[in-house]
């Protein structure tokens, strides 16, 4: 298992160009999600965040909340997410991070989850409401199987907390560009740049910046000070707008390519 850090590692003398897409498993359906994973891999995704649908996604804005609602109407479960990821990993080498809230994972069982994630070759786990202070009983099962456990850092995090996050994290650290929930924004906060710099004082792990990235110029800006940009709500909004269209996968992938290639020029 190569791990997520290897895919986001900086190349000496070159600007980072990692772009991490987020999609919700089962939105609009599991088959389409599987096709999207393979298409995003071909389009140059560095890592993919696969969202587990949850009924109360407190950190997510309305776009991703609606995606979860659509997937839950399709009765998409944690088991479905694992099977989907496992099938995709048999067809591509794109590292997948399972993105979830803690409640559905506890209901599934953490030891069972770690075992099945390993069998599905899922490289990482990001639990939005799992704090490093409370992670001691959660992370050992995943670390023992070589699965990265990724934590969020916010602009409001103190230096003591950033140091704690750095000790607990593996794979990469997800720097939240602003306080609040996910969603498209016109301008990235200067706080994101400052946060990435502060994280580097405590950790050599790659830093990925998310929450609000939606245009090539924003991706380019993130690459100036971080190793990767995460695009979530903007991509999920494309999926929402293309529902029922035969070319959904192509249109969503074209949008991702526009973000990535438009940022590399």
**Residue 60 is among the residues annotated as catalytic for this protein:** yes
State what percent of residues in the chain have pLDDT above 90: 79
* Catalytic entry in 49, 116, 123, 148: 49
CB 256 within 8 A of CB 43: yes
**Residue 129 is among the residues annotated as catalytic for this protein:** no
DSSP conformation class of 49? E
pLDDT tens per residue, range 25-34: 999 999 999 9
- Confidence label for 121 from pLDDT (cuts 50, 70 and 90): very high
- Confidence label for 5 from pLDDT (cuts 50, 70 and 90): confident
**What phi-psi label fits residue 211: left (phi over 0), alpha (psi between -120 and 50 degrees) or beta?**
left
The DSSP result for 190-202, as a single string, is: HHHHHHHHHHHTT
pLDDT tens per residue, range 145-204: 999 999 999 999 999 999 999 999 999 999 997 554 444 444 566 888 999 999 999 999
Phi/psi at 145 (5° precision): -105, 10
* Catalytic entry in 41, 60, 116, 238: 60
* Spans of all domains in the chain: 17-264
This prediction has a pTM of 0.92
Edge to edge, what strands does the sheet with 173-176 contain? Answer: 148-150, 124-127, 96-100, 48-51, 18-24, 228-231, 207-210, 173-176, 152-153
CA distance 141 to 137: 9
Section 106-126 average pLDDT: 97
What fold characterizes domain 17-264? TIM Barrel (3.20.20)
Q: Angle at CA 194, nearest 5°, toward 222 and 19?
A: 20
Which helix (H) or strand (E) segment is 122 a member of?
Answer: none
Q: Angle at CA 18, nearest 5°, toward 14 and 19?
A: 150
Beta strands 148-150 and 18-24, pairing class:
unpaired
> Which residue(s) pair with 127 in the sheet?
100
């Amino acid at each position: 298992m190569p791990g997520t850090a290897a895919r986001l590692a900086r190349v000496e003398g070159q600007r980072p160009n990692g772009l991490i897409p987020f999609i919700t498993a089962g939105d609009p359906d599991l088959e389409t999600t599987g096709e999207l994973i393979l298409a995003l891999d071909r389009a140059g995704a560095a890592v993919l965040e696969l969202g587990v649908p949850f009924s109360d996604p407190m950190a997510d804005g309305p776009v991703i909340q609606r995606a979860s609602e659509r997937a839950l109407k399709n009765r998409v479960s944690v088991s479905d997410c694992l099977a989907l990821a496992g099938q995709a990993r048999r067809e591509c080498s794109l590292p997948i991070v399972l993105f979830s809230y803690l409640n559905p994972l506890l209901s599934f069982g953490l030891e069972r989850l770690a075992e099945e994630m390993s069998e599905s070759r899922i490289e990482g786990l990001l639990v939005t409401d799992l704090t490093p202070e409370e992670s001691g009983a959660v992370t050992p099962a995943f670390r023992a199987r070589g699965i990265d456990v990724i934590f969020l850092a916010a602009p409001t995090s103190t230096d003591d907390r950033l140091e704690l996050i750095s000790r607990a994290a593996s794979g990469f650290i997800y720097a939240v560009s602003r306080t609040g929930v996910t969603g498209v924004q016109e301008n990235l906060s200067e706080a994101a740049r400052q946060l990435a710099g502060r994280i580097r004082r405590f950790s050599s792990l790659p830093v990925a910046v998310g929450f609000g990235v939606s245009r090539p110029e924003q991706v380019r800006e993130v690459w100036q000070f971080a190793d990767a940009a995460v695009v979530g709500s903007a991509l999920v909004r494309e999926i929402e707008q293309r529902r029922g269209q035969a070319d959904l996968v192509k249109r969503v992938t074209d949008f991702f390519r526009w973000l990535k290639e438009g940022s590399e020029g």
